[in-house]
Each structure stands twice: as structure tokens, then as C-alpha cells.
A and B are shown apart, each in its own frame.
Chain A
Amino acid sequence: MLLGIVLLGACSRPQAPELSQGTLLPSAKPLLEFELIDHQGRPFTPGNLQGRWSFAFFGYTHCPDVCPTSLSMLAQMQRKLEKDAALNTLPQLLFFSVDPQRDTPQLLAEFVPYFHSSVIGVTGDQQQILKLTRQLGILYAKAEGSGSEDYLVDHSAAIILFDPDGKLHALFGVPHDPTLIANDFMAIKHYYEELQ
């Protein structure tokens, strides 16, 4: 009898997955409006996050160490997901610039596809970038003591996962491992679909 109740409970309410790198938000957070531009010059708004999963990283093209490492990691993760027969649609990979002063759509267009053909670079007006980052808890600022041209930008190193409803769904802190994040993603997706 008790076993029956436990089983019934287990069936009716899926268990949240145990993640090795990711942190699920207690409840997914919808986004307020923002209006940015992708690397092909097309508008990028919350609507672009609808209908599929999206991984996002915030960085800048003048960053030679952390950003290429994170983009390579996301590309590696994507190549693992490409081999997963259980996945019909691959997640979007988004690289949001926190340095719109230098990162034009053209520069992003020459930068992001190098890592994986599916990466979309997004930039735009500083105020619009702030509209997005403030909602996500992403921080960035020009580094102190930087020169006027060769400046550095400090920025949050987290990778963000948006669900197909366009809501902030999970966060991945450093260090990032492509296999662990791919596994976490499949578990998160499975759990999300069970709850639908």
C-alpha cells in the first residue's frame, strides 16, 4: 500500500534531475523586452528565444583567453549533442557582446562562426544590452586602468540556458565541461518535457 503511494507519487510528479554543473532556477524566469542585433544585422529580441533551447555566453571579441575557451567549450558540447539521436533540435548557441563599442555585427560575423557554424553573435545599444543583462544577473564593466582603445572588460563567466518558452531556466558556473553540460542539458530537457 505504502509502496503504491510512493510509486504513484513518483509517477505523478517527476523528480528534478541531479545536475553536475548546472543550477536550475526554482521557477523559470520570463524576460522583459530588449532589442538587439544579431551578427547578420537582423533584430534579436526575446522572440528569438522562443521555440527552442538556447545557451548563452556573455563576452567580447577582444578577449583572447576566457571567451574563446568558453566558445570552444560550447562548440564541443554542440558536437556531442549532434551525435545524440534522442535530440531532434539542437539548442541555439548565443554569444552576447558586452563590448558593443567595438563589437559591431560585422566583427561578430567574422568571429563567432569560427567556433561553430551555429553560433549567433548578438550586439547592440549599450542600454539594450543592460536591459537584458540586468534581468539575468550578468555583470560587466570596463576594467579599471584600461586604456581608451586597448581596454579589457570584466564580465560574468556563467553560461545561461533559456528554455523554449524563452525563459531563464538554468545557469552553469565555471569551470565548464562540455560533456557534463551536454548531459545536464539532456536531463533538464527531459524533466521539462515531463512537466509539460
Chain B
Amino acid sequence: MKRFLMALALSASSWLAVADSGILVEDAWVREAPPSARMLAAYMIIRNSSDRDRVLVDVESPQFSHVMLHKSEVVDGVARMLHQDEILVPAQGSVVLEPGSYHLMMPAPETHLSAGDTVDFTLTFANGDNVQVQAEVRKKP
């Protein structure tokens, strides 16, 4: 019981920290891929209602060995994927992770993810805030 209360207190405090940080994540999804795909991508909208810029520096997930911050861009007709050390979420603003732009890249897990499955991510910001996000696997379009 004591352990349960402790867990409750911890989860309540982390929830408050999330609320305090002013970060809100919407529309998080992972692109369903063919079973042979070695890499997957995740997308979401990260909103920052606070008066301070927030910087996303790390993402982890129990379902993937690692998660990388990436950005696709097309320059002079050539598509490139660039590793990002961080992604800025401006004060009173937002950043959109979407196909062809910012995204999370993960090596595909051994168990195939199908549309309707969910993936848990923990977003870590430079100020130490952690935000839990649940993303839905979707077949697009």
C-alpha cells in the first residue's frame, strides 16, 4: 500500500510537472510500414503555451532500442535526412513533426507494429521536463 501511494504521489507530481511545463502534444502517430521495413517514423504536434522557448533534446520509448530526432528536407531537388541534436519549440508557439519535415526515427522492433497499435514515448526537454506521449500506429494515407 505504501508503495502504491508512493507511486501515486510520483505520478501525480510528474503530471503536475507536465502541466507546469506548458507543453502539450497532439496528434502523435507512427507510420505503419511493411513488415520488412527496418526504420519507422513518428510524427506529432508539440505546443508550448509557456513564455519560454522549450528545446526537445531526447526521446525514449520502451518499444524501441533508440529514437532519433530527424528532419527531412529537399534542397535543389535532393531529399536529405538530417540528424537533429535538438528541436526548438518556441514560446507561445509550436513545432509540427510531419512527413517531409521534422520526425522521430526509430529502428523497427522485432514485433511488427500494425495500425491501431500504440507506442509510448517520453519526450525530454532541455529544462529537465519529461512529457509522456502515446502515439497511435496509422496506415497512411
Contacts and interface: CB of A to CB of B under 8 A. Distances in A.
B16 interface: no
B38 A154 contact: no
Contact of B79 (A73, A110, A111, A155): A155
Nearest to A176: B100
Interface in A64-111: 64-66, 68-69, 72-73, 76, 107, 110-111
B36 A65 contact: no
B31 A64 contact: yes
B140 to A, nearest CB: 6
A61 B38 contact: yes
Interface string B62-97: 000000001010100111110100000000000000
Interface string A142-176: 01010000101011111000000000000001110
B131 interface: no
B77 A157 contact: yes
Interface residues of B, number: 26
A87 to B, nearest CB: 21
Contacts of B56: none
A155 B73 CA distance: 11
A97 to B, nearest CB: 13
Contact of B78 (A110, A112, A156, A175): A156
A66 B39 CA distance: 12
Contacts of A63: 39, 81
Interface of B: 31, 33-41, 70, 72, 74, 77-81, 83, 99-100, 103, 105, 107, 140-141
Interface of A: 61-66, 68-69, 72-73, 76, 107, 110-115, 139, 143, 145, 150, 152, 154-158, 173-175
19 contacts: A64-B103, A65-B81, A65-B99, A65-B105, A66-B79, A66-B99, A68-B41, A72-B140, A76-B141, A110-B34, A110-B36, A111-B36, A150-B107, A154-B78, A156-B77, A157-B74, A157-B77, A157-B78, A158-B77
